[in-house]
Amino acid sequence: MTQLAERPQTSARRPSRRRLRRWAGAVLAALVAALLFGAYVWQPARAEFRSPYLAKTGSRYADTPIARFHYVRAGSGSPVILISPGGTSVIGWKDQVGVLARDHTVYVVDLPGQGYTRLNDPGFGYDLPAMTAAIGSFMDAVGVRRAALAGNSWSGGWALAFAQRHPDRVSRLALLDATGLDLPGTWMWEALKIPVVGELAVKLSAGRSAARGLAEGMLVNKRLLTEELLDEWWAPMTFPENIRATYLLERRLDWAQTERALPSTKTPTLVLWGGQDTVQPVERARRFAELLPDDRTHILDGCGHMPQLDCPEPVNRHLQAFFAD
C-alpha cells in the first residue's frame, strides 16, 4: 500500500503575511510617534551658563511691544548698529565693538529669536516684515533715528531689507557673507523647511558637540574657536524660543523681495565676503556687486562664513574706513 508523503507544516513555522503587515504597521506607527514627539514635545536641556563676555561688557535691555531687546553699547559718536549674526548672539561681533567704539556709538543687538532677546509679542511673524519692524523698534527704543547698519549671514539680509524699506534711517550698510539673494541654501538649511524634519534637526543640533561642528564648519581659522567662545556661541542655541525661531525663519524669509530691490538700493554698501565660505559661496558676493548701484566689494581670502570672527583684523580695517567716510 502506497503512503502519501506528508507536506511540511510551514504555516506554524513562519508568520502569516497578515501578521507581518501588522508588525510592520506597529513599527511604522512607533517610528512616526517618536518623530512627532521629538519634533513637537521634547525640548533639549537649556544650557546653564553665565556669560563671562556679558559680565565684562555689560548687558542692556530695551523693552518695546515687540520684544525685550538685549544689547551691548560702547563708545560715543555717530551711531553704528551691529546686528547679531543669525543663530548666535552679541558675541558674534566681540572683535569689532572696541575698535569701532573709538569713533562711534556702537550698539550690538540680538533680534527676536537670537541671543538673549525675549519676545513680548506672541504673534511675532519671523518673516522679513517682522524682522525689519524689530530693527526699527529697537532703534526707536534707544533713541537712534539714523545709523549705519552691519549684519552677517541672516542678519545681513535683515539689515539690507530694513535699508530698502527705510532708506532715510540707514546712512551706510555693511553686508558680511549676507543672505538676501533668491538662491537655495545648503542641503542642511533647506532641510529645515520640511515639517517635522526641521523641528527635529534644530533640536538635535542644539547639543554642544553639534554646535562645535557647526562653528568649525563656518571658520577657516579653527584655532580661534576656543572653549570659551564655543560656550558663548552655543548657550543661546538651547533656548526654546531660539530653537523655534530657527526653523520658522528658514521657512518664512522671502529673499526674492530683497533681490528684486537691489538695483534700487541707494544706500552706500560695503560687501565683505569670506573667500572660503561654505554656507554662502563667494560667487554670491559678486552677484551683490552686480546688482547694487553703490557698493564696495572685498573678498577676504582665508576666511569663512563669519569673517568678523574668522579674520577680525581685515574686517575691522574695512569697517573703520567705510563708516568713517
pLDDT digits (tens, 9 = 90+) for 290-316: 999 999 999 999 999 999 999 999 999
CATH of residue 91: 3.40.50.1820
Task: Read off the pTM.
Answer: 0.92
Residue 318 lies in a domain: yes
Average pLDDT over residues 193-204: 92
Write out pLDDT tens, residues 199-245. Answer: 999 999 899 999 999 999 999 999 999 999 999 999 999 999 999 99
Query: Which H or E run includes 79?
Result: strand 78-83
Cell for 28? 511604522
82, pLDDT greater than 50:
yes
The count of structural domains within the chain is 1
Residue 9 lies in a domain: no
Confidence of residue 6 (pLDDT cuts 50, 70, 90): low
Residue 135 lies in a domain: yes
Residue 18 lies in a domain: no
Residue 173 lies in a domain: yes
Write out pLDDT tens, residues 117-129. Answer: 999 999 999 999 9
Average pLDDT over residues 10-24: 72
- Dist. CA 98–CA 254, nearest whole Å: 34
Mean pLDDT of the chain: 93
- Dist. CA 15–CA 29, nearest whole Å: 20
Query: What are the strands, taking DSSP E only, across 94-210?
Result: 104-110, 118-119, 147-152, 170-176
32, pLDDT greater than 50:
yes
Give the pLDDT confidence score for residue 14 in this predicted structure. Answer: 65
Residue 192 lies in a domain: yes
Instruction: Show the domain range for 149.
Output: 52-324
Average pLDDT over residues 163-179: 98
Residue 224 lies in a domain: yes
Residue 139 lies in a domain: yes
